[in-house]
Amino acid sequence: METKITIMHEDGLDMDALEEAGYIIRKGGLVAFPTETVYGLGANALDEAAVKKIFEAKGRPQDNPLIVHIAHFDLSAYAKEVPPIAEKLAKTFWPGPLTILLKKADIIPSTTTAGLDSVGLRMPSNKIARTLIEKAGLPIAAPSANISGRPSPTEVSRCIEDLSGKVDYIIGGDKSEVGLESTVVDCTVTPPCVLRPGGITLEMLRDINHDIYIDPAIMMKSDNNLKPKAPGMKYRHYAPKAPVKIIKGDLQKTIEKINEIVQNYIDRNMKVGIMATEETKKYYPLGEVVSLGSRYNLQSIAQNLFETLRTLDDRGVDVIISEAFEEKGIGIAVMNRLNKAASFDITTL
C-alpha cells in the first residue's frame, strides 16, 4: 500500500490534507496523526472492518481495546451511563490527555473495545487531531501509532518508520508535547480508578475527587494474583530492542553503580546506553550517554523518554542502563513506562 504523508503545524493547519484524511477515515481507511500525548493510528471507531485493520497494521493482540477519540462533550452519544464524576472530569481536563472509561453504548462495536462492555473516550487537545475528527465527522478509534510492543512514537519520523506501507495516510505535526500516553480513568467503578497513569496526574484528579486511586497492579510486575485492569498494561510494552535495567536509590550511589555496571559490559565488548539527566550526564565517562532532560522538570523527562529509547536502539547498543525518577506528578507515569520497558529489572541501592 502506498502511504501518503503530509506534515503541518498546529498553528498552520493544512485544511485540504485534513479534509482528505477525514474522507479516508469515512471510507474505512487508516490515518496516523499527532496528538499531545503520542501519535495515534486512527480508523472509524464505528466500523468493525476499519478497526480490524488497526489491529493488523500494528500486530496488536486482539484482547487489547482501543480508545475512542471525540471532538465534542456529548459523552452519552457513546456511553450508556454517564456518572456526574465523568462529566466533571471531562469538563475539567478535556480537551487533554485524559481517557474516561464508561459503559459502552450499543453503537460502539465490540471489536473496538475488544469484547469489553466499557469504552475509553478521549478528547485530544492537539488541533490537528481535533480537526481530523471533525472533518471525519465520526469518532476515531486510535491506539498509539507504533508496531505493538515498541515505544510509542512522539515524532512523525517514528510513525513513518513503523507504519509506512501499512496505512493510507500519515499526518505529521510537531513533537508530542506530553510524550506519554493519556491517563486512563475507569469511571464504571466508584470511586474511579486510574488504570494507566499519564499526563493528567493523580494529584490533579484528586483535586476533583479525593477518593480516586491508582490500580495497585500497574506499578508492579504482573503476577497471577494481581492483573492490571487495562488489558494493554499487562504486555511487555514501551520496549526498545535492547534490554533495559533501572538503578534506583541515592543519586551519588546510582552514578557510581551505573559506572561500575557500564565498565563490566565494556570489558565484555558490549555497547552500553546510559539514560541520564542534565544534572548527571557529565559523571558518566563511558558508554553512549543520553540526557532525558532535567530531574527538576519531570515533564521534560516524560517528553523525551520514548524517543530516547528508540535513539539508543538506532545507535545499536546491547543494553540500556537508566537512572530512576521521583514517583510524583508525571513521574508516576514516567516510572510506570520505564519499569515496563525494563520488564521490572530494577536494582534498588
Residue 24 or 67 with smaller CB distance to ligand TXA: 67
| Residue 154 found at the interface with Mg ion (CB under 5 A) | no
Longest CA–CA span in the chain (Å) reads 61
Residue 145 or 292 with smaller CB distance to Mg ion: 145
Choices 141-149, 198-206, 243-251, 286-294; region in contact with Mg ion by CB under 5 A:
141-149
Select from Mg ion, ligand TXA, none the partner in contact with residue 113, using the beta carbon and a kind-dependent cut-off of 5 to 8 Å: ligand TXA
Q: What residue is closest to Mg ion based on CB?
A: 144
Cα separation, 94 vs 48, whole angstroms: 27
Residue 144 or 254 with smaller CB distance to Mg ion: 144
**Is the distance from CB of 162 to CB of 146 less than 8 angstroms?**
yes
- β-bridge mates for residue 42, sequence order: 31
Q: For residues 67-99, b (16+ Cβ closer than 10 Å) or e, as one string?
A: bbbbbeeebeebbeebbebbeebbeebbbbbbb
**Beta strands 40-44 and 31-33, pairing class:** antiparallel
Q: How far is the CB of 143 from Mg ion (least distance, A)?
A: 5
Q: How far is the CB of 234 from ligand TXA (least distance, A)?
A: 8
Q: Which residues bind ligand TXA (CB under 6 A)?
A: 35, 37-38, 40, 64-67, 97, 99, 101, 113, 116, 118-120, 122, 142-144, 181-182, 184, 195-196, 230-233
Q: How far is the CB of 214 from Mg ion (least distance, A)?
A: 19
Q: How far is the CB of 101 from ligand TXA (least distance, A)?
A: 5
Residue 290 or 334 with smaller CB distance to ligand TXA: 334
Q: How far is the CB of 199 from ligand TXA (least distance, A)?
A: 8
Q: How far is the CB of 159 from ligand TXA (least distance, A)?
A: 11
Select from Mg ion, ligand TXA, none the partner in contact with residue 231, using the beta carbon and a kind-dependent cut-off of 5 to 8 Å: ligand TXA
Residue 30 or 233 with smaller CB distance to ligand TXA: 233
- The end-to-end CA distance of the chain, in Å, is 51
* Count of C-beta atoms within a 10 Å radius of residue 278: 15
Select from ligand TXA, Mg ion, none the partner in contact with residue 53, using the beta carbon and a kind-dependent cut-off of 5 to 8 Å: none
**Is the distance from CB of 170 to CB of 160 less than 8 angstroms?**
yes
| DSSP H or E segment with residue 261 | helix 251-267
Cα separation, 85 vs 177, whole angstroms: 27
> Between the CA of residue 323 and those of 187, 254, 277, 309, 336, what are the distances in Å?
34, 7, 8, 13, 14
| Residue 144 found at the interface with Mg ion (CB under 5 A) | yes
Residues that bind Mg ion (CB under 5 A): 144
